[in-house]
Amino acid sequence: MRVYNFSAGPAMLPLQALERAQAELTDWQGSGMSVVEVSHRGKAFVKCAAHAEQTLRELLAVPDDYRVLFLQGGATAQFDAVPLNLTRPGQSAAYIKTGAWSGKAIAAARAQGLEVAVIADQADGKYTTVPAADSLTTPDDAAYLHYTPNETIGGVEFGYIPASAGVPLVADMSSTILSRPLDVARYGVIYAGAQKNMGPAGLTVVLVRDDLLGQARPGTPSVLDYAAMAASDSMLNTPPTFAIYLLGLILDWIGQAGGLAAMGARNQAKAAALYGAIDGSDFYANPVAPDARSWMNVPFTLRDPALDGDFLAQAEANGLTNLKGHRSVGGMRASIYNAMPMEGVAALIDFMADFERRHG
Amino acid sequence: MRVYNFSAGPAMLPLQALERAQAELTDWQGSGMSVVEVSHRGKAFVKCAAHAEQTLRELLAVPDDYRVLFLQGGATAQFDAVPLNLTRPGQSAAYIKTGAWSGKAIAAARAQGLEVAVIADQADGKYTTVPAADSLTTPDDAAYLHYTPNETIGGVEFGYIPASAGVPLVADMSSTILSRPLDVARYGVIYAGAQKNMGPAGLTVVLVRDDLLGQARPGTPSVLDYAAMAASDSMLNTPPTFAIYLLGLILDWIGQAGGLAAMGARNQAKAAALYGAIDGSDFYANPVAPDARSWMNVPFTLRDPALDGDFLAQAEANGLTNLKGHRSVGGMRASIYNAMPMEGVAALIDFMADFERRHG
């Protein structure tokens, strides 16, 4: 009896992948061992990790001059790893601030001794907007330009890739990677925690262009040193084997579902249906500018916040879980990542209409 | 059809825990969601993580003035995290070198700018010995004394806790934690990758005494900052939820099996039986000094190395897997962590005797 789980992350995963993992959890590939019990350096697991990497490369059409790294510590570790790998203290880097997660990335860069040039800060719009593409200017002396293509908490997403004037573009794609086709070649570094569209928590995927390797500061912890991890095929230390295995199963599912073009069409349709229901009602509201609305995270409020508790309890009773908004935003948030089917969004829309009829 | 898996890590885990995880992998606690799909900040998972911590505290009798941290990046990340949390560049720290893993810890400490005093180096004994307890002197100005109670590759284990003359004692217990009772109060910091006695790869358990918190160097990545992680109950970033959940199930199994006293008696008996079989034969040999032999990792060689391939192939055909020794040592290695039953060790001993009869 599965529910429609709207959690922002860790999040709903494709049942096909979970059922496969379940079936073989005590006996993987007829080995008499679980996938969590085998050596990461054994043939079977090396092949499993290579399959995950190769499938990711195919789905994202990753150019040959990019390395795919499987790291640990989430996007939070990357907030430090990006400055540690790409800069020296006292250098400058450019950041775009569109909400909570880009704000954390900026704070970490400053703590690493960088001069941070915030070339756009959407505070005026209460972080419900993205800057106009033509308003952005990256300083020549910036080591890189960092932005957050999708803000998980605010539900704010860029509809374009910022121009970075020849400076490497760095993106925290935790909550948007694999949601649609992506032009990897536009980026210097892409990083993403797995626990939204890719798998369980505890795995971080990093794509880094070859020419950016080998510049890490002395003292960079080896597990966060891109060049050291690239040189060891991400096995400098024991990798999170279960998470990499499950990533591979989930990537297989994406491929079978038609790849990222199909995923993008489906995600766009899901988001359009949900925003349409919100906009078509005076009972519900979404605060985000239309050109900045996320396909992945849809925050919305009820006209009367006193009804929030009833809404959440009744939704849960109807098999629609984890709709409570982030504590900093309030209201509701429906995260509708790849694994959420259109049927789940439709069930939510039906419930919202029914709730409005009864309480509107 | 399960096998006896002698892998050094990731390693054999208790079937009871794996079967429980398997049964509820698509529907945890009747929630309609997998444990890997729920928010780490939701009530259910917070309770799950608290259960794992509490059970660990009870099994190890962790004093109240120690924090239990659930981190990522393995012991390798801790090789950097220990200097980053406890020292400034230019300070000195004392290390004992007994093999490959303590050697890596020393290299990382030097890379973090420490003056490393190696107060004992067992190179003369080809890393098959531990120093005599009364031969150790920790310099007064050392920030801490670091050692590796069990060297996973060499199969060398301390039979005593080194005196550290009032300096905090730091130990990499990756391959020995939970194998027997432990006097935590003797240590300042204990760290351990989970993938031997505790669970799947991707989780690192750190025990740190309160008075050692809050001294991290500026620029320490937040995910490796003990104080920052302690202040957030190890949820500064998204923790590796599946690994923490499985840790809890494995700790439950240890408790039901009689706790660490029972585990220690069982592990001692397993090791005694295997070393006895090796020593009672001219066909097999273990190079480690009797007072330094590991209960967890038992390397052994065949008189004729040309038979190694046959030994491994026939062992595998008999359901005894992953016996190949580390490439730096050669020969065989039987890792017999908590989850390896006496029956598995007995089966290995029987096979070894039979192989000797046929090839001796």
Write the CA distances from A63 to A58, A173, A260, integer angstroms. Answer: 10, 18, 16
Domain borders along chain B are 16-256, 259-353
Separation CA A360–CA A283 (nearest Å): 7
**Closest by Cβ to B40, choosing from A19, A201, A203:** A201
Q: Specify the CATH number of the domain B16-256.
A: 3.40.640.10
Q: What is the secondary structure of B54-87 as a DSSP string? A: HHHHHHHT--TTEEEEEESSHHHHHHHHHHHHH-
Number of Cβ pairs < 8 A linking chain A and chain B:
227
Contact B10 A37 (CB under 8 A): yes
Contact B239 A201 (CB under 8 A): yes
**Closest by Cβ to B219, choosing from A42, A75, A113:** A113
Q: Which CATH class is domain A259-359?
A: alpha beta
Residue B270 annotated among the catalytic residues of the structure:
no
The CA-based angle A339-A341-A343, given to 5 degrees, is 160
For chain A, what is the largest distance between any 2 Cα atoms, rounded to a whole number of angstroms? 63
- Residue B250 near chain A (CB below 8 Å): no
- Active-site hit among B28, B80, B101, B225: B101
* pLDDT tens string A118-143: 999 999 999 999 999 999 999 999 99
pLDDT the model gives residue B360: 80
- Residue B205 near chain A (CB below 8 Å): no
Report CA dihedral (A154, B26, A206, B45) to the nearest 10 degrees: 60
pLDDT confidence band for A329 (50 / 70 / 90): confident
Beta pairing, strands B4-5 & A66-71? unpaired
Q: Specify the CATH number of the domain A29-256.
A: 3.40.640.10
- Residue A91 near chain B (CB below 8 Å): no
CA distance B339 to chain A (A): 11
Residue B282 annotated among the catalytic residues of the structure:
no
Separation CA A234–CA A27 (nearest Å): 25
Contacts B226 to A, Cβ<8 Å:
none
Long-range contacts formed by B311-320: CB under 8 A, 24+ apart: B311/B355, B314/B351, B314/B355, B315/B348, B315/B351, B315/B355, B318/B347, B318/B351, B319/A32, B319/B3, B319/B4, B319/B347, B320/B3, B320/B4, B320/B6, B320/B344, B320/B347, B320/B348, B320/B351
Query: The tokens of B189 are what?
Result: 């910091």
Residue A196 annotated among the catalytic residues of the structure:
yes
Look up the ipTM and state it: 0.98
- Strands (DSSP E) contained in A222-357 are 284-285, 297-302, 320-321, 332-335
Contact B242 A202 (CB under 8 A): yes
Residue B343: CB atoms within 10 A of its CB come to 9
Q: Which stretch of DSSP H or E encloses residue B190? A: strand B189-193
pLDDT the model gives residue A165: 87
Q: Which CATH superfamily is domain B259-353 in?
A: Aspartate Aminotransferase, domain 1 (3.90.1150.10)
Contacts B19 to A, Cβ<8 Å:
26
Contacts B5 to A, Cβ<8 Å:
32-33, 37-38
Residues 6+ apart with CB under 8 A from B251: B52, B55, B56, B59, B198
> Could you give phi then psi for residue A317, rounded to 5 degrees?
-65, -25
B114 → chain A, closest CA residue: A219
Regions in chain B scoring below 70 on pLDDT: none
Report the first-to-last Cα separation within chain B, whole angstroms. 31
pLDDT the model gives residue B145: 98
* pLDDT tens string A174-221: 999 999 999 999 999 999 999 999 999 999 999 999 999 999 999 999
* pLDDT tens string B331-351: 999 999 999 999 999 999 999
* pLDDT tens string A224-280: 999 999 999 999 999 999 999 999 999 999 999 999 999 999 999 999 999 999 999
pLDDT the model gives residue B281: 97
